[in-house]
Amino acid sequence: MKWMLAAALAVTSLVPFATSHAQSGVRHGTIVDMKPIDNRGDDESEQHKQGKQRGNVLGGLFGMVAANKTESPIAARVVANGSQDMGSRIGGAVAGEGPAAHYMVKVKTDDGKTLALVQTGKGVEGLSVGSKVSITGTGSATELAAE
């Protein structure tokens, strides 16, 4: 994650007057919108990851059988590796994407401010639109809890 550090340093020069404001205490609000973030990038749900692992193992077994029928050792290795990759992809597809890793949660605070936040799937468990929440922390470190 060196590049993130580099990015953080770059931002220091980009926004010299912006300072992270650590709000003290707890704020209160109501969730007014909540959507799974489908644009996953490198995010991967446990369900998808496990599916890929299972596919990888099955693909590997299939590859071993197929490779044994191949006389060339190089071709055998290509078949074995290709089968694992294919198995991994198929396993992931069969398992499905599973629940989103992140959610967009929009909260209207009791003092009238609207905050659009990114929360992890675990962070929004038990929460839905209309939920009254307490808000601790700020920005990326914000945590919501049902009241």
Partner 1 sequence: MPGLAANAYSKASSKVADSWLGHDASELLVQWPVDRGFTSYEVGKTGEMAYEYNFGSEAYSYDSQNTQAVGQMNNTLILQTTYEHHDVDAQHHCTVVFYANADGIISRYEYDGVKCAPYISSWGKPKGS
Exposure string over 79-108, b if 16+ CB within 10 A, otherwise e: bbeebbebbbebbbeebebbebbbbebbbe
Residue 129 makes contact with partner 1 by CB under 8 A: no
Query: d(Cα 76, Cα 12) in Å, to the nearest integer?
Result: 52
Single out the residue of 31, 79, 80, 117 in contact with partner 1 (rule: CB under 8 A).
Answer: 117
Q: How many CB atoms lie within 10 A of CB 127?
A: 19
Q: Find the part of the chain contacting partner 1 (CB under 8 A) among 31-39, 52-60, 65-73, 78-86.
A: 31-39
Of 67 and 101, CB closest to partner 1: 101
Residue 104 makes contact with partner 1 by CB under 8 A: yes
Q: How many residues does the chain have?
A: 147
Binding site for partner 1 (CB under 8 A): 1-8, 10-11, 13-21, 23, 33, 35, 37-43, 101-102, 104, 106, 112-118, 138-140
